[in-house]
Amino acid sequence: MRSVLQLRTPQNGNADQHSVGGMKFAVNSAVAVNSAANDSSNSSPKVRFREPQIEMAHGAGGKASRRLVEGLFAPLLFASSLEPLGDAAFVDFNGVKIAITTDSFVVKPLSFPGGSIGELAVNGTVNDLAVSGARAEAMVVTYVLEAGLPTPVLEAEVRAMGNAARKAGVKITGGDTKVVEHGKADSMYITTTGIGRPLLGLKIDPRSVRPGDKILLSGPIGDHGITILLARGELDLEADLHSDTRSVFPLVEALVNAAGPGVRWMRDPTRGGVATSLNELARDCGCGIVLAEEAIPVRDAVRGACELLGLDPLHIANEGQFLAVVSPEYADAALNALNLAPGGEDAKVIGEVREQPCGAVLVTTLYGGSRIIDMLVGDPLPRIC
């Protein structure tokens, strides 16, 4: 309506050089500036998000999250919403390119087998930078603490962050603390913002993905999500499982060293799992993703829990794995490099890019059946009856 009445003059290429970036919805700001100039005849940004209120599903990393980001954040915050959304943004300071990303951590319980919120907060941001092709260099941290939080709990998490940062080789250089009234937050929330140095010789863009490219997965999926589900203690199930939280940078580095020119896309399949990440890729590249179910590594305990609860391992969150799309001529070298790197022994080629089914992910079975697997809608919920 505004544009029809011409009540507002279009904004001209005056976009902020240090534009906003963040987990799952970062855009390349250098490109964004150019596109904004091209779009300058357009009117005010178009908000397409029409849902009356925020529901839990909007934070679950699936379709609802995507609608919120694409329909509300992208049009209002980014100079252009034409760019595919990535895990980190790249900002150009007079020829020096840096990667920037931010991520908030809200986990219940705070600690669980194999990790805790502090460790996740460091690794999550390191990994968002890593799969964007950057080495995490520095990080700032914000704590939102609930009054009444026992100091030993906080100390344990701060310690865990320090250890994880040292392990990942990233410096924590500053931070902020806020305390909210008891009952206004769930113990503690942590936000980390990291900057990273781009790895050389790497050009990651989902639109460069072509039919024939191979899809690599760094290791078994679903460990983190199922560990958390069981650690909540609501299901009366136990298993020998621990979260896979770790920095994936060493694996990414090994991959890039061995197959850099062939690496077209990477993503860490956190909330929403492998299925959601690959559906995003399928949409962004306009190709089909075909997975061979038998090739996807899943531990027995995770499979068992998923069978019992009616969940699909492809929808379960991971905190220490990543997916990569590699051109066919580099695929062997890429897999080899991953398998030789510590922690990459279980990496596999799990499928390939094809022309069809356009924009979707198809899972095939050894006996000839197949199914489309979509993004997750909301959180995975156990099915009982």
List residues near another protein by CB under 8 A. 53-57, 63-64, 234-237, 288, 300, 303-304, 307, 309-310, 312, 356-358, 360, 362, 364-374, 377-378, 381-385
Task: Enter the tokens of residue 120.
Answer: 């996740």
Compute CA distances 266 → 31, 88, 146, 253, 262, whole Å.
Answer: 19, 11, 36, 12, 12
Distance, CA of 60 to CA of 204 (rounded, Å): 25
Residue 2 or residue 50: which is nearer to another protein going by CB?
Answer: 50
Tell the smallest beta-carbon distance from residue 312 to another protein (Å): 8
Residue 272 or residue 288: which is nearer to another protein going by CB?
Answer: 288
Residue 248 or residue 287: which is nearer to another protein going by CB?
Answer: 287
Beginning with the edge strand found earlier in the chain, give each strand of the sheet holding 288-292 in spatial order.
263-267, 323-326, 214-217, 348-354, 288-292, 361-364, 370-372
Tell the smallest beta-carbon distance from residue 307 to another protein (Å): 6
Distance, CA of 374 to CA of 62 (rounded, Å): 9
Residues listed for the chain: 385
Tell the smallest beta-carbon distance from residue 372 to another protein (Å): 5
Tell the smallest beta-carbon distance from residue 130 to another protein (Å): 31
Nearest Cα to Cα of residue 82 among 31, 16, 30: 31
Provide CB contacts within 8 A for 282, sequence distance 6+: 288, 289, 359, 360, 361
Residue 203 or residue 371: which is nearer to another protein going by CB?
Answer: 371
Tell the smallest beta-carbon distance from residue 56 to another protein (Å): 5
Tell the smallest beta-carbon distance from residue 294 to another protein (Å): 8
Residue 59 or residue 328: which is nearer to another protein going by CB?
Answer: 59
- Residue 239 burial by Cβ neighbours in a 10 Å radius (0-12, 13-18, 19+): middle
Strands 288-292 and 348-354: antiparallel
N- to C-terminal Cα separation, the chain: 49
Residue 24 or residue 63: which is nearer to another protein going by CB?
Answer: 63
